[in-house]
Amino acid sequence: MADNVVWLVLQKLRIPLLVLITSYSIAILGMVLIPGVDDQGNVYHLSFFDAFYFVSYMASTIGFGEGPYDFTYGQKLWVSFCIYLTVVGWFYGIGALISVLTDARLKHELMHSRFKKSVKQIQGDFFIILGYNYVNSEIIKKLHDAQIELVLIDKNEEKINHFLLESMSKDVPVMVGDALLTDTLLDAGIKMPNCKGVVSLFHDEEKNLRISVLVRFLNPTLRVIAKSTINDITMSIMDTDISEILNPFEIFAKRLEFGLVSPHLLLLENWIYGNSDLASHTHFLPKNGKYIVCGYGRFGKALLPVFQRHNIAYVFIDEKRLATQTMIENETFIRANPDDKDVLCSVGIKEADAIISGTKNDITNISIMITAKKLNPNIYTIARENQIDEVSIFEEAQMDWVFIIEKIMVNKTALFLSKPFKHHFLTLILKENEILAKSLAKLLRTTINNNPKLKYLAITNEQSYAIYHELLAGGTVNLEMLRRNLSNWKEINKVVPLLLNREGEDLLLPKDMPLRIGDEILFACDDYAKEEIAFIASNIYDLHYVMTGEEKQIGILKKLFGSKK
Amino acid sequence: MNLQKVISGFFFIFAMTINFGFFYGDISNPALHSVYELFAALIISLISTVLKIGDKTQLGSVLLATSLVADIQLIAAVTVWTITEYLSVVDTESFAVIISLSGGALLANITSVILYIGETLKSKR
């Protein structure tokens, strides 16, 4: 509360105020009581006003001089005592005031009250981001570009100060606070109806679980995006029913599987994330030889089922962890240091198809790759990169595939929050097979271009005013009409409808059909068509033109001339 | 016994009694109202205000509010007196204003003391 700040200042200034009042009243009273002599030689007493006036400018060291008449020695004696009394009182008071204003607690209170105020002023939907680190800063950038409101909390004041230097910090309320406390979450607006979700990507996954549980009780309508790679925690977080689990290792395992069976799905996924365009080279990962995986932690364990499903020969190398007895007996697990020439030779690197270096240490990963390339120049190299700061070294090392954990988390979270329908399409398409993916990629490439844009449209009053009112009036608008060209309605723009969602039912690659209110549609199109779709959907004249091929009569003219017919 | 309580209680009641001392007497007779008493009443009232700062309870806030009322009334009385004394003449009418302002401050002080006593009686220790 803003109240707190005022209280804090007043409370700290109690003693200085008392000192000032007392010293002033002593000085004033003395000045009044001590007799003076006027210019006629008569004895007189200063009035209270005279005394107050004199003491005021004496105490503040302004010093206009003695008055109304020159002081007697008795008065001067008292004044010299009062100078020290009141001036020291003032210095003490000012010193106390400054120390209060620079007090860390006061600063925190001020920040807190500003934060609460700006959270309350957020109009649109917003998300709460917990913790400021590289991943979250990238997410914030992406969401900020998509004009989505955010609130940021971090426990560490230094990190908050760091964030305040960023250009987007003006629009994002920030506070130093412990996200694991209910009060902090409440201040961040977790109970506000326009709060839509919480992003909790702490490295310490226990925290993510705690946040999920807290949010579950505070506001069960929210979505929590929680990072979790440990099985037990994942299960517990899933039990809260409100969380979207983000496990970068699972995501990579899935991508590896696509690389093995359906590279076009991988292509589409990369295109939707905006990582690359559809013209990128696609090829199947080698499937016949052996895969050497360095590291059998959470990462290695996520890969194991993929190899088993596709009958691929594999061997895991890890120095610290232990696998099951059967794996050791089958020689699919070796306990050794993977960054060792002899070890790599002993697991058959010279005949192996691919090597995946997936340890926690980026430098070890690079070192393994370099050794592997030397031993077998044809080997397919896949490296795990934990921290994005090392990106230049990984580029230098010329891996076939670098898998950046932080980037996966950024892409996935940002897409999920800013473009939920796109994310929905992505999850649907990833369930499809290679044949569909290949033909879809080809269709998009030939009808549009190598890097089509995505356009989301909902048939609502806000997003597509014209269609909404046409449908309300009983008219029929077909999906195909949105593809027509506004300069010539018989021509078709470069548009491919990708997904239509009607009352929760998904229709992948919909054919031409009449639209209904509440439909949600995702198009792939070029920039030109993207603009025209928006025009057709919201402008009644443009809609009329693409429906009939005629210009719509303006209302008043129609009334004037139309009725005479 | 708590020294802080003694001091604050002393000033709360002192503010009331000294205010009464100034207020008591014929409202139109300046001889019955000492300027020194008004000065003391204002100073004590200011001190008791500062002593009331910092208590964030409901009662503490009301105590502070009554004290602020007394301060404002007394400051108004002092200002009226100074202005009339130096810029015009202190006649019966303006003197009555001064005394009635201090009477208002007295009421505020009485309220404050009643609240203070009530709280003291309520506390079990």
DSSP A191: T
A431 found inside a domain: no
Nearest to A260 by CA among A314, A316, A306, A315: A306
pLDDT beyond 70 at A1: no
A110 found inside a domain: no
Task: Judge if A293 and A411 occupy the same domain.
Answer: yes
Average of per-residue pLDDT values in chain B? 90
A7, B43: Cβ pair inside 8 Å? no
Does A25 contact chain B (CB < 8 Å)? yes
Task: Judge if A20 and A67 occupy the same domain.
Answer: yes
Helix (H, G, I), strand (E, B) or coil at A64: coil
A443 found inside a domain: no
**Rg, chain A, Cα only:** 36
Identify which of A11, A21, A29 has the shortest CB distance to residue B46. Answer: A21
Contacts of B120 (CB under 8 A, 6+ apart): B9
Rounded to the nearest angstrom, the minimum Cα separation between A10 and chain B is 7
B50, A47: Cβ pair inside 8 Å? no
Q: What is the pLDDT of residue A565?
A: 40
Question: How far apart, in whole angstroms, are the C-alpha atoms of residue A223 and residue A203?
Answer: 19
Per the structure, the count of domains in chain B is 1
Rounded to the nearest angstrom, the minimum Cα separation between A23 and chain B is 11
pLDDT beyond 90 at A257: no
A118 found inside a domain: no
Task: Judge if A407 and A259 occupy the same domain.
Answer: yes
Rounded to the nearest angstrom, the minimum Cα separation between A24 and chain B is 9
Q: How confident is the model at residue A559 (pLDDT cuts 50, 70, 90)?
A: low
Question: How far apart, in whole angstroms, are the C-alpha atoms of residue B93 and residue A62?
Answer: 37
Q: C-alpha B4: how far from its chain's center?
A: 20
Instruction: Say if CB B60 and CB A14 are below 8 A apart.
Output: no
Task: Judge if A281 and A181 occupy the same domain.
Answer: no
A330 found inside a domain: yes
pLDDT beyond 80 at A385: yes
Question: How far apart, in whole angstroms, are the C-alpha atoms of residue A215 and residue A203?
Answer: 19
- Which of B48, B49, B50 is the best residue to mutate to test the A interface, defined by the most A CB atoms within 10 Å of its own CB? B50
Identify which of A7, A22, A48 has the shortest CB distance to residue B56. Answer: A7
Task: Judge if A76 and A147 occupy the same domain.
Answer: no
B39, A10: Cβ pair inside 8 Å? no
Pick the last residue of a domain from A400, A418, A436. A418
Of all helices (H) and strands (E), which one includes residue B13? helix B3-23
For A304, the token pair is 């194991």
User: Residue A24's domain spans which residues?
Assistant: 2-101
Does A47 contact chain B (CB < 8 Å)? yes
Nearest to A439 by CA among A496, A506, A481: A496
Identify which of B35, B54, B86 has the shortest CB distance to residue A14. Answer: B54
Instruction: Say if CB A258 and CB A278 are below 8 A apart.
Output: no
Task: Judge if A213 and A276 occupy the same domain.
Answer: no
CA-nearest residue to A49 within chain B is B82
Q: Please, which residues 51-80 of chain B have a Cβ atom closer than 8 Å to chain A?
A: 51, 53-54, 56, 78
For chain A, the farthest-separated pair of C-alpha atoms sits apart, in whole angstroms, at: 121
Q: How confident is the model at residue A564 (pLDDT cuts 50, 70, 90)?
A: very low
Nearest to A223 by CA among A210, A248, A240, A207: A240
Instruction: Say if CB A120 and CB A142 are below 8 A apart.
Output: no
B50, A17: Cβ pair inside 8 Å? yes
A438 burial via Cβ count (<10 Å: 0-12, 13-18, 19+)? middle
According to the per-residue pLDDT averaged within each range, which of A18-32, A179-193, A286-300 is highest? A18-32
Identify which of B54, B56, B82 has the shortest CB distance to residue A49. Answer: B82
Q: What is the pLDDT of residue A488?
A: 83
Backbone φ and ψ for A373, nearest 5 degrees, come out as -60, -35
Average of per-residue pLDDT values in chain A? 85
CA-nearest residue to B48 within chain A is A18
Instruction: Say if CB A494 and CB A526 are below 8 A apart.
Output: yes
Instruction: Say if CB A135 and CB A199 are below 8 A apart.
Output: no
User: Residue B99's domain spans which residues?
Assistant: 3-122
Nearest to A433 by CA among A548, A224, A202, A265: A265
Q: How confident is the model at residue B74 (pLDDT cuts 50, 70, 90)?
A: very high
Question: How far apart, in whole angstroms, are the C-alpha atoms of residue A87 and residue B71?
Answer: 24
Question: How far apart, in whole angstroms, are the C-alpha atoms of residue A350 and residue A337?
Answer: 18
DSSP A384: E
Pick the last residue of a domain from A246, A267, A283. A246
DSSP A166: S
B50, A25: Cβ pair inside 8 Å? no
Task: Judge if A220 and A336 occupy the same domain.
Answer: no
The residue type at B41: A
Of all helices (H) and strands (E), which one includes residue A21? helix A14-33
CA-nearest residue to B81 within chain A is A49
pLDDT beyond 90 at A31: yes
pLDDT beyond 90 at A275: no
Question: How far apart, in whole angstroms, are the C-alpha atoms of residue A411 and residue A138?
Answer: 9
A133 burial via Cβ count (<10 Å: 0-12, 13-18, 19+)? middle
Backbone φ and ψ for A287, nearest 5 degrees, come out as -120, -10
B82, A48: Cβ pair inside 8 Å? yes
Q: What is the pLDDT of residue A78?
A: 93
pLDDT beyond 80 at B124: no
Residues A210-242: pLDDT tens digits? 888 888 888 888 888 888 888 888 888 888 888
Residues B83-122: pLDDT tens digits? 998 888 888 889 999 999 999 999 999 999 999 998 888 8
A441 found inside a domain: no
Pick the last residue of a domain from A221, A246, A271. A246
**Which whole number is the average pLDDT over A500-523?**
86
Does A14 contact chain B (CB < 8 Å)? yes
For B78, the token pair is 């002092």
Cα-based distances in Å from A59 to A22, A33, A52, B7: 13, 19, 10, 27
Return the percentage of chain A with pLDDT > 90, whole number.
10
Task: Judge if A190 and A255 occupy the same domain.
Answer: no
Q: What is the pLDDT of residue B36?
A: 92
Residues of B in contact with A48 (CB under 8 A): 35, 39, 78, 82
Does A560 contact chain B (CB < 8 Å)? no
**Which whole number is the average pLDDT over B4-22?**
92
Q: Helices A248-261 and A405-418: crossing angle, nearest 10°?
A: 90
Rounded to the nearest angstrom, the minimum Cα separation between A25 and chain B is 7
Helix (H, G, I), strand (E, B) or coil at A199: strand
Question: In the block, which residue shows the tokens 């208590």?
Answer: B55
**Which whole number is the average pLDDT over A89-110?**
87
Question: How far apart, in whole angstroms, are the C-alpha atoms of residue B97 and residue B93?
Answer: 6
Identify which of B47, B54, B86 has the shortest CB distance to residue A10. Answer: B54
Beta-bridged to residue A520, according to DSSP, are A458, A501
Residues B54-63: pLDDT tens digits? 777 888 889 9
The residue type at A45: H
Residues A446-492: pLDDT tens digits? 888 888 888 888 888 888 888 898 888 888 888 888 888 888 888 88
Does A22 contact chain B (CB < 8 Å)? yes
A521 found inside a domain: yes
- Here the CATH number for the domain that contains residue A142 is 3.40.50.720
B85, A7: Cβ pair inside 8 Å? no
Q: Which residue has the higher pLDDT, B15 or A321?
A: B15
Cα-based distances in Å from A235 to A241, A245, A269, A301: 10, 10, 27, 16
Task: Judge if A214 and A336 occupy the same domain.
Answer: no
B51, A18: Cβ pair inside 8 Å? yes
ipTM: 0.87
Task: Judge if A164 and A128 occupy the same domain.
Answer: yes
Instruction: Say if CB A219 and CB A171 are below 8 A apart.
Output: no
Question: How far apart, in whole angstroms, are the C-alpha atoms of residue A313 and residue A299?
Answer: 17
Q: How confident is the model at residue A557 (pLDDT cuts 50, 70, 90)?
A: low
Q: How confident is the model at residue B67 (pLDDT cuts 50, 70, 90)?
A: very high
Does A472 contact chain B (CB < 8 Å)? no
Per the structure, the count of domains in chain A is 4
**Which whole number is the average pLDDT over A332-359?**
84
A563 found inside a domain: no
